[in-house]
Structures are given as structure tokens and as C-alpha cells.
Amino acid sequence: MILIAVGNTRTLLAYSEDGLHFQSISVATALHPTHILQLWEQTRPLLEDEDFALGGVVPEAMQRWRETLPPGRLREPELAVFQQRIPNSYVPAESLGFDRRCCLLATARDFPTQSSIVIDMGTAITIDLWADGRFQGGRILPGITMSIHALYLGTALLPDLELPMTVADTGNTTAAAIQSGVWHMFTDALLGAIQQFQGLFPDAQVLLTGGDAPLWQARIPGSHYIPDLLLRGFYGWLQSSS
């Protein structure tokens, strides 16, 4: 079965036999599914009777996938299964994002009794708390690229930039000042959330995932980077829905 996880910016296609190790590609969500499948076949040829599983956070893109894939070979995870496995008070239940659900499912499976702060750093950044056997709630922040781009769009003269792996504490050019400001804004936001959540659950570990997570691991002492956390949760969700 091919897993298809549709994100705001990137879509993951992945295959796994054990739910722990994945063969995957990451492509632009804006691409048409037919093109994405052609790219996937360069990695792993599709079987004639290949099944697919679809989840994501972009309704229009997901509808394109539904129209492209054979209906009898497409599965989508069931919300009721998530609700049963992850006790929570989120309102309304269906508004909790697919990516957050997957990461929580993987965390609950791997660390059922360990309090965990799950930070997913993608187009948006989510900071979710798993503790006392339930999802306690979380926070949503704009992502790093989105924040830098917003400065560019909302001003007349500020440039559009990318964030480097390291930045100075202060900047002596406009570009360096933007990079330093965004870098330290997110560092403070993440460390502040961790401190507050660990004030509630002192044993809480910190799990990092998402495309921008490697930038921050060194800045968050004791954190654990789990690149396939979403895919592991997606895979387990489907197994429970069988």
C-alpha cells in the first residue's frame, strides 16, 4: 500500500512493510497526482493491483487524488479510530489536522506512558502535548518560511529570504537582521512552550519532526528528532482501521 500524505506545501508518498522504515519521496503539493505518481515510479514501480491510502490537510488537492486513483483501491483513515485511541477534548473533533493526528498516534503508540511535547515544523508549526494518556491540547504558529515571506509581502522594501542553518545574535544588514529576528523569535517561542508544558508535566520529553526540525534540534536541549513520525502514525492508523 502506498501512503499519500498531502501537506500544505509538500506531499509525501511512502511505502513500508513494518511501519518503522519507509521508502518515500516528497514533492510539491501543487503538482497533479498523475505527475506525482510518475515521479514515484522512478523510486518504486507501482504494482498492477496497488492499493493507496490518502490523508491530508488540503481539500482541493485531496479531491484531485480521489479523482485520479481507482475508487476500489483507495482507503482513507477513520476519525472514529483516532478518537478511540487518542482521548481528547478538541472541538470540533474533525478540525484537528491530519498531520497532528498522525504524530499523536505515533507518539501514543511508542510512548504510551511518557509525557511528550510533539513539535511538527512544517508550513505551520504545531506544538502538541501528550500526557496522562490523552491529548492535552496544543499551539499553532506560522511556519518559518511563511513568517519571512509575510515580511516581504507586507512591506515595500524588505527582501524575501531563506533562513540559513545558523544566524548571528544581531544582524548588520537588513537580510541578516530579518534572519536573526525570525530565528530568535521561533527559538524563544519553542523554548517558552516547552518550559510551560514541562511545568505541567515535568517528565515530558520533546519530539521534533517536520521539514524544518533539523534547524532547531541543536537549539532544543535533549530533544529527539523523528523524521518519519507522521508516516509512522499514518501507517498505524490504517492498521487499526483494517
User: Which residues carry a binding-site annotation for K(+)?
Assistant: 120
Q: Which residues are annotated as a binding site for substrate?
A: 90, 97-100, 174
How far, in Å, CA of 157 to CA of 140, rounded?
A: 28
Residue 45, C-beta contacts closer than 8 angstroms, at least 6 positions apart: none
**CA-to-CA distance for 194 and 128, rounded, in angstroms?**
10
Residue 72 identity (one-letter amino acid): G
Residues 6+ apart with CB under 8 A from 66: 54, 74
**What are the residues whose beta carbons fall under 8 Å from the beta carbon of 3, sequence distance 6 or more?**
12, 13, 14, 15, 16, 52, 53, 55, 231, 234, 235, 238
Rounded CA-CA distance 112/4 in Å is 26
* Catalytic residue chosen out of the listed positions 99, 128, 212, 228: 99
Helix/strand/coil for 226: coil
Q: Measure the CA–CA gap between 166 and 180, rounded to whole angstroms.
A: 9
- Helix (H, G, I), strand (E, B), or coil: what is residue 134? strand
User: Is 99 part of the annotated catalytic residue set?
Assistant: yes
Q: Which residues are annotated as a binding site?
A: 5-12, 90, 97-100, 120, 123, 174
Provide the terminal-to-terminal Cα distance of the chain, rounded to the nearest Å.
13
* Catalytic annotation, residues: 99
